[in-house]
Amino acid sequence: MRKLVIGLLAAGCLIPDLASATNGYFTHGNGLKAKGRAGVATAFAEDAFGGANNPATMVFVGNRIDFGADLFSPRREASRFGSGVGIDGSADSGSNYFVIPEFGYNRMMNPNLSLGVTIYGNGGMNTDYPGGQIPSGTACGPAPAGFNPAPGPYNLLCGNGRLGVDYMQLFVAPTLSYKIAPNHSIGISPLIALHRFSVEGLQAFDNPGFSTAPGNVTNRGHDISWGYGVRIGYYGQLSNTVSVGAAYSSKVRMGEFDDYRGLFAEQGDFDVHENYNVGIAVKATPKLTLAMDYQRINNGGTKSVGNPNSFLLQCLGGNPAFCLGGSNGAGFGWHDINVWKFGLEYQYNKELTLRGGFSHSDNPIKGQDVTLNILAPGVIKNHASLGFTYTTKSGGELTMTYTHAFSNSVTAPSFFNNFGFPAGSETIKMYQNTFGIAYGWKM
């Protein structure tokens, strides 16, 4: 129990540094062993991260503790070109390094029942663009369009000062796993979620023409919300060489970000999306295991994320329900996505296990929603990962991984073209590198 408490406190101390964005704003995997296979985890029972992947696997893990961290480096950039009215510009986001902690603990209550806990960062988003790309006297200011009365210079979204968002998710998942037969199990993880959010530089939208709650759109500092949900899972060893798994996570119902009730739909609502995954692992040879996961992330189920930018046009047409913060308010326009993950694991010898993997996901951001997604350019589609675990003579397991998320971009006409002047086109772009290290042992 003392080890569990120490782990909880250690994870809590690292909360301020947690930020991520890979498959949409979900992380590409949980647990460093899974990340070495590009996130493949649903049909593996190997560590105490079942609360984040598949709760049913924990009863096959035994008494165990795992902890580790990623050094995550996303590189984001945005630009506007061809506007003809002086609002062209480009910027690279700062804040390029984040530490993402993870912790898992599992205890066998009897041969068929285990209790554990997984602490993890599901994902998030961070951008930090310097302001001043657009000079005074342009369409951002009093003339000719006049939708930002403040003097310039302006940032890329015609606001003042720095532009960016800081969004973090931390989850605690107590986990119960039970064998319903010698080779089959089910599991459940209640999900306790903490979210932290802030945004700067959206003064152009902080007025009655765009928001139901002006003054609660931007530059309000960090706001925090708590929420709850549940993940359930099944795991089965069909033979000595084939295992399968499936898990479902409900929507995590979060409290509203009251300080940003003029930005997010439904007066500040920002729930975590429903998602599910299925997987299979096949021992192709005594040393080589091949595995695959499929994951579905239903971004559209959260209005503040799934509703399109274009709802702002209905807001300007006099319908407040479609304004920022409204009951059906404009959002980021993210679509539901499918994620395919392929991984392999090779037992080189009794001390060393090698891993590799590749994943491909849909891009949640379509061209018509590129403008507001300058804040959140979650356009990554492909990841490649490598990793290994070295088992020491004392039984400790040192795991290291590297993941590269390949550069991807979206270019489309600016949403500002709807405001009566030629605003040109915009490009958002991102790539990522992640280095991870973890240590675990059986107790």
CATH of the domain at 298: 2.40.160.60
Please give the model's pTM, rounded to 2 decimal places: 0.92
Provide the 3-class DSSP secondary structure of residue 16. Answer: helix
Q: Are strands 113-126 and 98-110 parallel, antiparallel or unpaired?
A: antiparallel
Q: How confident is the model at residue 142 (pLDDT cuts 50, 70, 90)?
A: low
Q: How many domains is the chain built from?
A: 1
Residues ≥6 apart with Cβ < 8 Å to 283: 240, 241, 242, 289
DSSP 8-state assignment for residue 60: G
Q: List the one residue out of 274, 278, 271 whose CA is nearest residue 250.
A: 274
Residues ≥6 apart with Cβ < 8 Å to 180: 186
What does the pLDDT average to over 68-89? 94
Q: How confident is the model at residue 84 (pLDDT cuts 50, 70, 90)?
A: confident
So what's the pLDDT on residue 89? 95
Check whether 147 has a pLDDT greater than 90.
no
DSSP 8-state assignment for residue 116: E
Check whether 376 has a pLDDT greater than 80.
yes
**Residue 362 has which token pair?**
């849909």
| Average pLDDT of every residue of the chain | 92
What does the pLDDT average to over 200-206? 93
Between 126 and 59, where is the model more confident?
A: 59
Check whether 4 has a pLDDT greater than 50.
no
Range with top average pLDDT, 297-306, 351-360, 369-378: 351-360
Q: pLDDT tens-digit profile of 160-176?
A: 999 999 998 999 999 99
Check whether 152 has a pLDDT greater than 70.
yes
Q: How far is CA 207 from CA 40, 245, 329, 333, in A?
A: 45, 49, 15, 21
Check whether 1 has a pLDDT greater than 70.
no
Q: List the one residue out of 364, 358, 409, 408 whose CA is nearest residue 386.
A: 358
Type of residue at 187: G
What does the pLDDT average to over 326-334? 95
Q: pLDDT tens-digit profile of 267-291?
A: 999 999 999 999 999 999 999 999 9
Check whether 3 has a pLDDT greater than 50.
no
What does the pLDDT average to over 322-334? 95
**Residue 378 has which token pair?**
């979650």
Residue 424 phi/psi, 5° resolution?
A: 75, -150
What does the pLDDT average to over 371-392? 96
**Residue 223 has which token pair?**
């706001």
Residues ≥6 apart with Cβ < 8 Å to 339: 23, 39, 293, 294, 295, 296, 297, 359, 360, 361, 362
Q: How confident is the model at residue 358 (pLDDT cuts 50, 70, 90)?
A: very high
Check whether 249 has a pLDDT greater than 70.
yes
Q: How confident is the model at residue 419 (pLDDT cuts 50, 70, 90)?
A: confident
Boundaries of domain holding 316: 2-442
* Residue-wise DSSP of 79-114: EEE--SSS--EEEE-----EEEEEEEEEEEEETTEE
**Residue 332 has which token pair?**
């980021």
What does the pLDDT average to over 286-310? 95
So what's the pLDDT on residue 22? 82
Q: pLDDT tens-digit profile of 6-47?
A: 444 444 444 444 555 688 888 899 999 999 999 999 999 999
**CA 168 from centroid of its chain's CA atoms:** 8
Q: Are strands 113-126 and 425-442 parallel, antiparallel or unpaired?
A: unpaired
Q: How far is CA 14 from CA 98, 103, 149, 170, 442, in A?
A: 10, 12, 40, 10, 25
What does the pLDDT average to over 381-409? 97
Residue 420 phi/psi, 5° resolution?
A: 95, 15
